[in-house]
Amino acid sequence: MPEAKMPDKWPHVSKLPDAMPPALTILEAHNKMVGPLVTALIQPIVNLGGQPNDVMMLLESVIVGTLGAMTRLDGDEKVVAMLGQRVLMRLKQARIAAHARIAEANGRTVVPKS
């Protein structure tokens, strides 16, 4: 399956409110927002005694709402495929980094498998 591209424009969103100061780059804003966003999504479910499945259902709703705001009716399959590819890639990178940190703390070196 060819890699999908994200849409250039937000077809269903006219203007999003400014959440970050304009001096921040997109990457800086992302890095600043991601931790608090994840905590804000997960913590209420955990506090209510929710299970991982409950958190996944909330994540599914967030993804559906986000894709609904940014994709055209005929483009969502490609975006979902691309999102899945990128999520798997980032999870793999995070696991490799975590293993490297553990190994380094124990005085070892990790060589990732290709």
| Predicted confidence (pLDDT) per residue in 62-100, tens digit | 988 888 887 777 777 888 888 899 999 999 999 998 888
| Predicted confidence (pLDDT) per residue in 2-53, tens digit | 454 544 555 554 555 555 556 778 888 888 899 999 999 899 999 999 999 9
Measured distance CA(46)–CA(52) in Å, rounded: 9
